[in-house]
Amino acid sequence: MQKKVLDNWRACHVAPLNSFQTSLRRKLTKIDVEALVSQRLKRTPSILSKLERNPGMNLARMQDIGGIRTVVNDMQKVREIENAYKKGTNVFSIVNNGKDYINYPKDSGYRSVHMIFKCKNGFSIELQIRTFIQHAWATAVETMGTFLNLSLKSSEGLEEWLDFFSLASSAFAILESTPRAPEHDQYSAQEVFEMLLKKEQELDVLNKLSGFRVAARHIKEDKNKGHYHLVVLNLDEKSANIYSYAPKNIVQANIDYSIKEEKVNQGENIQVVLVTSESISGLKEAYPSYFLDAQLFAKQISVVKKSLDKLR
């Protein structure tokens, strides 16, 4: 596919997105003035990946190239926004193949309401509606997946991480009185909370998320030139050292990576990751408040702990 064709098609979604955002913000003034609204054009790698995964797919049929998201305070407001758009608008008609991933969570634990609209010129817009708790979960998955170089949000990666985030989603669903992932239906709320907290300790999740926030802040300020960055996080001091490498020095970067990893095996309380500059900038471009959301995820884990204490 010619990149120019893709770029032009994607650019055609800007005006419909802006129009939809105006409508959405107007509705939110009556439903949730504290709601967050963000919009994005799907990144080229994501578009190409989706086309590769779905051989019958083409650009004209892809309904989420233009996406807009609102994050609201609770489930009642999610349903109010959903109901406000069920008949579409004067400009946008609703397409009847949206998804309610809150009542029917994905196996990964992903929860959100997706609604698809078409404007009069035929371009599709996807609206995502979720609570702050659901958003905290989703952005923590994105953060961890990016830094571990795992596609956790696509249910690809190490089983232990997929299990953790699926459990986290079910625990958060219990807090919101919504359906949990089917695999956890057999367990009581107390059992789900206990399994989640045990896995959090085993994987050291909250320390890793905290360290990643330090790394991201540091990389933003890093003046070194280089395509690859070896990030060494000191989890005791919440500090980071960044070592940058040009593409021609990738072999040395991997050698240094192995040396630092060996220190982890020897018991040093550090985390090490090798990232490209594009992965960090892409993350910040898609989610400007991403690492604040990782903090919100940690706060929800604290709520789970308090809820477990009450159940005991």
- CATH, residue 27: 3.30.460.10
Question: Does residue 104 share a domain with residue 18?
Answer: yes
User: Cβ–Cβ contacts within 10 Å for residue 217, how many?
Assistant: 12
Tokens 């204490």 locate to 309
Question: Does residue 214 share a domain with residue 124?
Answer: no
Q: Which amino acid is at 248?
A: K
Question: Does residue 236 share a domain with residue 123?
Answer: no
Q: How many alpha carbons fall within 13 Å on the CB side of residue 268?
A: 13
Which residue among 82, 106, 130 closes a domain? 130
Residue 221 counted as domain residue: yes
Question: What DSSP designation does 61 have?
Answer: G
Which residue among 72, 105, 130 closes a domain? 130
State the pLDDT at residue 238.
62
Tokens 């050292």 locate to 241
- Stretch 216-220: mean pLDDT: 62
Residues contacting residue 211 through CB under 8 Å, at least 6 positions apart? 233, 235, 238, 240, 271
d(CA 152, CA 110): 11
Residue 123 counted as domain residue: yes
d(CA 118, CA 166): 32
> Domain range spanning residue 21?
3-130
Q: How confident is the model at residue 279 (pLDDT cuts 50, 70, 90)?
A: low
Which residue among 130, 160, 176 closes a domain? 130
Residue 159 counted as domain residue: no
Question: Does residue 211 share a domain with residue 117?
Answer: no
More confident residue, 242 or 43: 242
Nearest Cα residue to 160 out of 200, 188, 212, 189: 200
- Stretch 88-111: mean pLDDT: 88
State the pLDDT at residue 58.
66
d(CA 10, CA 4): 10
Tokens 């080229």 locate to 44
Element (H, E) at 217: helix 205-221
3-state class percentages of the chain: helix first, strand second, coil last, to nearest 5: 55, 20, 25
More confident residue, 234 or 161: 161
> For the chain, how many residues are written?
312
Residue 230 counted as domain residue: yes
Number of domain units in the chain: 2
Question: Does residue 211 share a domain with residue 126?
Answer: no
Residue 183 counted as domain residue: no
Q: Residue 272 in contact with residue 231, Cβ under 8 Å? A: yes
- 195, pLDDT greater than 80: yes
User: Cβ–Cβ contacts within 10 Å for residue 308, how many?
Assistant: 17
Question: Does residue 108 share a domain with residue 8?
Answer: yes
Q: Which of 58-67, 136-145, 191-200, 282-291 has the highest mean pLDDT?
A: 191-200
- 199, pLDDT greater than 50: yes
- 1, pLDDT greater than 80: no
- 288, pLDDT greater than 60: no
Tokens 């960044």 locate to 242
Residue 146 counted as domain residue: no
Residue 141 counted as domain residue: no
Q: How confident is the model at residue 269 (pLDDT cuts 50, 70, 90)?
A: confident
Q: How confident is the model at residue 104 (pLDDT cuts 50, 70, 90)?
A: very high
- 85, pLDDT greater than 80: yes
Q: How confident is the model at residue 224 (pLDDT cuts 50, 70, 90)?
A: low
pTM of the model: 0.77
Q: Residue 41 in contact with residue 14, Cβ under 8 Å? A: yes
Question: Does residue 107 share a domain with residue 19?
Answer: yes
Pairing of strands 228-234, 239-245: antiparallel
- 290, pLDDT greater than 60: no
Q: Which of 98-107, 233-242, 267-276 has the highest mean pLDDT?
A: 98-107
Residue 158 counted as domain residue: no
Radius of gyration of the chain (CA): 21
Cα angle 194, 200, 204 (rounded to 5 degrees) comes to 155
More confident residue, 118 or 305: 305
- Stretch 40-66: mean pLDDT: 70
- 31, pLDDT greater than 90: yes
Counting residues of the chain whose pLDDT is more than 70, the rounded percentage is 83
State the pLDDT at residue 286.
43
d(CA 149, CA 278): 13
